């Protein structure tokens, strides 16, 4: 299905050709005329505004909505309060991850599911069959994401409540610039950030006005390439890039938090995923690569002449002055400091296993602690 952001003309004015790879059927502003590394600096020190409308949103509502959503994911949705959201493992019958998904609860009978390019539509259709539930793709919403330490300072004066009281993974219906929106705290950059869910017809106004309000604080538009750089620095997973084997389990990619092992109800893949706990064939790790450029995703990881893993995502971070990679590696070589070789089609180098996330290892930027 082909889609377009209402903000495409804004992206073109910023230098995007919108002619590269699409995501979820939508052309993406992968780059602007601005330097991508300068965009990263802005996000890390001030704030950057992203158009992430290519995320798929599905509205699930009705008396059986909770039942359907609870059977879709491995976390206990009955515990999720209205006004809150959570990330969860969505699995196939074999217990393998089959999509990115965030469950957003608006009321007892209303959910929004934000998902990637996996099996959510097919799974929902099967689970909803014969039940009193309505499942509707939301093609009329746009999502603007303001990411960076200045994001609260920019948005708070524009709202009629104290945005600083909104906790991580909480959201609230409100108005901004006279338009009805949801404001959610979250994002994909490893920074304090907020997402504005709005109607397509309101997106241009809200985009323009947020940039105008943020300009004195150094806020700029940011491209998807800079979002990719920040998410790798923050070691955030991206389906299917960190699940390239096709049968990757949550336990293998440090996603055990996405499975409530005490969940009483059934869900797709429950028996399989619980049986696979403790049987990990690989580990998700970070690598610091001794290279002046990014290595390639898909490059082999070699130890003592044998292939022991594969690079799943990689970038050169000018902000951290390091070549970074996320990788899958055999468990016996996953210890921090383990030396390996990277062999790609165009780049080969030595590397070592390093703690992740590479940036803000305690995640204090997104989850500040009292007194920290």
- The string of pLDDT tens digits covering residues 86-141 is 999 999 999 999 999 999 999 999 999 999 999 999 999 999 999 999 999 999 89
Q: For the chain, give the percent of residues with pLDDT over 90.
A: 96
Q: Tell me the sheet residues that pair with 22.
A: 27
The stretch 171-191 carries a mean pLDDT of 97
Start-to-end CA span in the chain (Å): 46
**Separation CA 19–CA 28 (nearest Å):** 8
Domains assigned to the chain: 1-279 (3.30.1360.120), 282-367 (2.40.30.110)
Please indicate, yes or no, whether the overall pTM of this predicted structure exceeds 0.85.
yes
Beta carbons of 105 and 82 less than 8 angstroms apart: yes
pLDDT above 70 (res 304): yes
**Separation CA 189–CA 65 (nearest Å):** 31
The pLDDT score that the predictor gives to residue 16 is: 98
Which single residue is written with the structure tokens 């594969």? 310
Q: What is the mean pLDDT of the chain?
A: 96
The pLDDT score that the predictor gives to residue 372 is: 44
The pLDDT score that the predictor gives to residue 19 is: 86
**Separation CA 140–CA 160 (nearest Å):** 25
Neighbours of 235 (CB within 10 A): 24
144 φ/ψ angles, rounded to the nearest 5 degrees: -110, 135
- The string of pLDDT tens digits covering residues 206-237 is 999 999 999 999 999 999 999 999 999 999 99
CA atoms within a 13 Å half-sphere pointing along the CA-CB vector of 54: 19
**Separation CA 119–CA 97 (nearest Å):** 10
Which single residue is written with the structure tokens 């007892």? 108
Beta carbons of 310 and 327 less than 8 angstroms apart: yes
The stretch 146-175 carries a mean pLDDT of 98
**Separation CA 205–CA 142 (nearest Å):** 12
Which single residue is written with the structure tokens 């890390």? 44
Band the pLDDT of 21: cuts 50, 70, 90.
confident
């Amino acid at each position: 299905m082909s889609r377009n952001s209402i903000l495409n003309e804004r992206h073109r004015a910023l230098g995007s050709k919108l002619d590269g790879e699409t995501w979820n059927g939508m052309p993406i502003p992968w780059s602007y005329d601005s330097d991508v590394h300068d965009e990263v600096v802005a996000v890390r020190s001030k704030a950057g505004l992203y158009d992430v409308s290519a995320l798929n949103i599905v509205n699930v509502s009705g008396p059986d909505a909770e039942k359907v959503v609870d059977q879709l994911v491995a976390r206990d949705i009955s515990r999720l309060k209205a006004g809150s959201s959570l990330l969860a493992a969505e699995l196939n019958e074999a217990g393998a991850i089959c999509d990115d998904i965030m469950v957003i609860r608006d009321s007892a009978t209303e959910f929004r599911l934000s998902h990637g390019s996996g099996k959510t539509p097919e799974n929902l259709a099967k689970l909803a069959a014969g039940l009193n539930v309505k499942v509707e793709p939301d093609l009329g919403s746009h999502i603007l994401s303001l990411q960076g330490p200045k994001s609260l300072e920019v948005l708070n004066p524009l709202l009629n409540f104290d945005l600083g009281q909104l906790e991580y993974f909480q959201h609230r219906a409100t108005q901004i610039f006279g338009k009805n929106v949801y404001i959610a705290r979250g994002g994909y950059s490893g920074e304090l950030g907020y997402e504005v869910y709005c109607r397509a017809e309101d997106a241009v106004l809200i985009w323009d006005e947020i940039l105008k309000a943020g300009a004195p604080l150094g806020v700029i538009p940011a491209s998807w390439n800079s979002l990719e750089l920040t998410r790798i620095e923050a070691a955030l997973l991206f389906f299917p890039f960190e699940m390239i084997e096709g049968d990757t389990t949550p336990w293998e990619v440090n996603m055990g938090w996405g499975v409530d092992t005490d969940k009483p109800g059934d869900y797709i893949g429950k028996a399989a995923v619980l049986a696979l706990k403790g049987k990990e064939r690989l580990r998700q790790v970070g690598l610091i690569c001794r290279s002046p450029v990014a290595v390639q995703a898909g490059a082999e990881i070699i130890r003592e002449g044998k292939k022991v893993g594969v690079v799943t995502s990689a970038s050169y971070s000018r902000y951290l002055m390091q070549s970074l990679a996320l990788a899958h590696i055999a468990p016996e070589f996953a210890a921090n400091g383990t030396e390996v070789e990277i062999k790609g089609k165009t780049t080969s180098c030595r590397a070592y296993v390093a703690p992740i996330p590479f940036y803000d290892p305690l995640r204090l930027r997104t989850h500040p602690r009292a007194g920290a």
